[in-house]
Amino acid sequence: MSGAVSQPRALFLFQDGSVLPDSLVCSGQVPADLKGESCPYADSGRCPSAVPLEAEDTRYTVDKGQPGDLAPPCIKQQLANLGHWQGHDGAQYPEELLDLRLFKCRQWFWLVVPGLLDADPTRLQMQP
């Protein structure tokens, strides 16, 4: 084993301000809400990769974003940028995540996709 850690496809945000990678949440390791089971929408225990929304897709709704916007296929809704929600119910999230597009997944968890800015949701920005 090389010891290399793959980059998260998504970061899940919790009310206590904790931020967990998709590998922990989608696999069911945490939180307790999934009862140790992998999310039924997961891709091998990971969040599915973000893909462009297509208006022709029968699962498409405008609350997910505009056609062409990137989003994981397991989302229910996009909620603007995370910064808009900073302080909601007392939650505080890291400054470097605030410009990212916030989503609610089908399991009702909040998540952001690293590099997916709300101001430019049609492409992933390179990570430093």
Q: Is residue 88 predicted with pLDDT exceeding 90?
A: no
Q: Residue 2 is encoded by which pair of tokens?
A: 């090389």
Is residue 99, in this structure, part of any structural domain at all? yes
Is residue 45, in this structure, part of any structural domain at all? yes
20 phi, psi to nearest 5 deg: -120, 145
- Rounded CA gap, 32 and 116, in Å? 27
Is residue 25, in this structure, part of any structural domain at all? yes
Tell me which residue range forms the domain holding 73. Answer: 11-117
* The predicted structure's pLDDT at residue 3: 41
* The predicted structure's pLDDT at residue 127: 64
Mean pLDDT of the chain: 92
Is residue 64, in this structure, part of any structural domain at all? yes
Query: What domain count does the chain have?
Result: 1
Q: Is residue 86 predicted with pLDDT exceeding 90?
A: yes
Is residue 83, in this structure, part of any structural domain at all? yes
Neighbouring CB atoms inside 10 A of 69's CB total: 19
Q: Is residue 49 predicted with pLDDT exceeding 90?
A: yes
Is residue 89, in this structure, part of any structural domain at all? yes
* The predicted structure's pLDDT at residue 128: 54
Q: Is the pTM of this model over 0.85?
A: yes
Is residue 62, in this structure, part of any structural domain at all? yes
Q: Is residue 79 predicted with pLDDT exceeding 50?
A: yes
Is residue 124, in this structure, part of any structural domain at all? no
Q: Residue 110 is encoded by which pair of tokens?
A: 């909040």
